């Protein structure tokens, strides 16, 4: 079976500053780079998905979404 990085949350990058608590996982699909921003809530046993998309303006748009 092929190794799946999405099954290993430690491969995500924990953000700091305005995005503290948010993790970003980078992955490729059909030659393009995508980012997935999420926040695990271990107490409630849920994962909040905030954004999925290409790299261009990803962090700017994510910060604007989280401020709203």
- Which tens digit of pLDDT belongs to each residue from 7-62? 555 568 888 888 988 999 998 888 889 999 999 888 888 899 999 999 899 999 99
Judged against a pLDDT cut of 50, whether residue 3 lies above it is answered with no
* 65-41-27-63 Cα dihedral, nearest 10 degrees: 20
Q: What SS3 state is found at 44?
A: coil
Answer whether 49's CB lies under 8 Å from 25's CB. Answer: no
Q: How far apart are CA 12 and CA 23, in angstroms?
A: 6
Show the beta-strand stretches assigned E in the chain.
13-14, 23-29, 32-41, 46-54
**pTM of full prediction above 0.85:** no
Which two three-digit tokens encode residue 13?
């990058």
- Which tens digit of pLDDT belongs to each residue from 48-62? 999 999 989 999 999
């Amino acid at each position: 079976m092929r190794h799946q990085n999405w099954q290993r949350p430690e491969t995500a990058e924990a953000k700091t500053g305005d995005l503290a608590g948010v993790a970003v996982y980078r992955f490729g699909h059909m030659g393009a780079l995508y980012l997935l921003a999420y926040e695990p809530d271990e107490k409630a046993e849920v994962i909040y998905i905030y954004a999925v998309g290409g790299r261009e303006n990803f962090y700017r748009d994510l910060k604007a979404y989280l401020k709203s």
